[in-house]
Amino acid sequence: MLTIVVADRMGKGKNVVAGIEKAGAKAILIPGIGADMKLGDVMHKENADFGISFCGSGGAGAIIANNKYGFPERHGMRSITQGITAINEGKKVLGFGFMDKEELGAELVKAINKKYPDKLWEK
């Protein structure tokens, strides 16, 4: 199953998780304040396919996941369209400013499935 880790610096993320799950993927939410700094570690531990980091700038968690584990990332994003573009460019870690929206989770899962149609994600 497609697995996406969600980390929000302010300890939120439940709305984007709901969108991910409604779109048919598995979401792992890292709880608590400062969760974005743990994104790469949890992705690595859980062998996750993608990660979403939320913080004010949209960068800290994504950059650390890239530096520590080499996950290709894009940060500083502020829209669903930017996230879809990053997926289409092969990014695995998506750094957004605070955007805990159900629509974001659902649309990113759709974009992932469209980008990787041959990947069964063990459906």
> What is the per-residue pLDDT across 6-58, written as a single tens digit (0 to 9) for each?
999 999 999 999 999 999 999 999 999 999 999 999 999 999 999 999 998 88
Q: Which of 51-60, 66-75, 80-89 has the lowest mean pLDDT?
A: 51-60
Kindly give the pairing relationship between strand 26-30 and strand 3-8: parallel
Sign of CA dihedral 91, 94, 95, 97: positive
In this prediction, residues 70-84 reach a mean pLDDT of: 97
- Tell me how far apart the alpha carbons of residues 98 and 35 are, in angstroms, rounded to a whole number: 13
- Tell me how far apart the alpha carbons of residues 22 and 4 are, in angstroms, rounded to a whole number: 13
- Asked whether the predicted pLDDT for residue 63 surpasses 90, the reply is yes
Residue 39, both tokens: 């994104």
- pLDDT tens digits, 92-107: 999 999 999 999 999 9
- Residue 58: what pLDDT? 80
Q: Tokens 């439940």, residue?
A: 14
Domains contained in the chain, CATH given: 3-115 (3.40.1400.10)
Q: Tokens 């990113």, residue?
A: 108
